[in-house]
Structure 1
Amino acid sequence: MRETNKLFHLAIPCKDLDETVDFYEKLGCKLARRYDDRVTFNFFGDQVVCHLNPNDIDLSPKMYPRHFGLTLINKKEFDQLLERAKANALPFYLEPTTRFEGKQEEHIMFFLIDPANNLLEFKYYHDIEMVY
Structure 2
Amino acid sequence: MRDPRDACHVAIPARDLDEAVEFYVFGLGAKLARRYDDRVTFDFFGDQLVCHLSENVPAEAVAYPRHFGVSFARAEDFDRLVRVVEHRKLTVLSGPSLRFEGTAEQHRTLFLVDPSNNVLEFKNYDDPRLQY
State the TM-score bracket (shorter-chain normalisation): over 0.9
Give the drift of 1:112: 0.4
Which residue does the alignment assign to 1:8?
8
How many pairs are equivalent?
A: 131
Poorly superposed stretches of 4+, deviation over 4 Å: none
Q: Deviations over 1:75-129 (max 9, x none)?
A: 1111001111111111001120000000000000000000000000000000122
* Matches of 2:104 and 2:2, distance apart in 1: 23
Q: How far 1:2 moved relative to its partner? A: 4.7
C-alpha separation between the residues in 1 aligned to 2:30 and 2:5?
Answer: 19
Return the alpha-carbon distance in structure 2 between the equivalents of residues 18 and 60 of structure 1.
Answer: 20
1:17 aligns with 2:21: no
The separation in 2 between residues aligned to 1:2 and 1:103, in whole angstroms, is 30
The unaligned stretches of length 5 or more in structure 1 are none
- Separation (CA, whole Å) in 2 of partners of 1:60 and 1:23: 17
Which residue does 2:101 correspond to in 1? 101
SS in 2 for 1:116: coil
Counterpart for residue 29 of structure 2: 28
Aligned to 2:73: 73
Q: How far did residue 5 of structure 1 move?
A: 2.4
Q: Which segment drifts farther, 59-68 or 103-112?
A: 59-68
Contact persistence 2:61–2:113 (CA under 8 A) = no
When normalised by structure 1's length, the TM-score is 0.95
Structure 1 residue 6, shift from structure 2 partner? 1.4
Query: Are positions 1:87 and 2:93 aligned together?
Result: no
Given the two structures, how large is their TM-score scaled by the length of structure 2?
Answer: 0.95
RMSD: 1.2
Where does the alignment leave 5 or more consecutive residues of structure 2 unmatched? Answer: none
Whole-angstrom distance in 2 between the partners of 1:62 and 1:79: 24
